[in-house]
Amino acid sequence: MATLLKRLWLLGLALAVACGDSSPPKITAPSLTSITVTGSDLIIVGQSETFTAVGNTGAPLSTVWWGTDAPAIVTVDPYGGPVTAVGVGTATIFVDSGGVRGTKTIRTLPNFTGTWKGLYEETGCETTGDWAALRVCSDSPYDLGIAEMTMTLTQNRDAVSGSFTLLGRRGPGGPYRAASRRTAR
């Protein structure tokens, strides 16, 4: 019987050693030490964009609080909604999570796209050098004239291009004359 107990004791000891601790090893996730805010660095007034926050682990963060240092320039939904440009200037977008803050500085610009109309008035004319000898100002039928003008502009981020058209000119007290067209880029 002693031999049987000895063998059972050795078998129990062998099973205990072979099985070890049945719980899985504990792996600690890396702690959040930095946040990167991604999105455009320029937004046109009236437009919106949703920014994202990525932790130092490379994973997007979902439990965050968004804000801005310039609410007159951009509005920010604190729960991760869009950033909307409402004024012209520079603002810092920030996101907070677990005591860590990430930031991104953005610029906002006015939206110049469209057609602009108005009056163009020539209020004087001065010439020097060869232009004075040609008497450009004194003989010009357009001196001190007024013209209807139209500008048609397009905008790609911070680059604006378009055309400027004088629809007709009239001299002081005179009727409108032939149109002149200028294009600028």
Q: Are residues 127 and 90 in the same domain?
A: no
Confidence of residue 165 (pLDDT cuts 50, 70, 90): confident
Tens of pLDDT, residue by residue over 83-119, are: 999 999 999 999 999 899 999 999 999 988 899 888 8
User: pTM of the full predicted structure?
Assistant: 0.61
- Amino acid identity of residue 18, one-letter, is A
- In 10 A of CB 149, how many CB atoms? 19
Out of 90, 109, 128, a domain closes at 109
Tens of pLDDT, residue by residue over 52-84, are: 999 998 888 888 999 999 999 999 999 987 999
What are the CA-CA distances from residue 57 to residues 26, 34, 40, 133 (Å)? 18, 9, 22, 74
- Domain extent at residue 53: 35-109
* Residue 42 covered by a domain: yes
Out of 51, 80, 109, a domain closes at 109
Tens of pLDDT, residue by residue over 5-47, are: 566 555 565 555 555 556 677 777 678 899 999 999 999 999 9
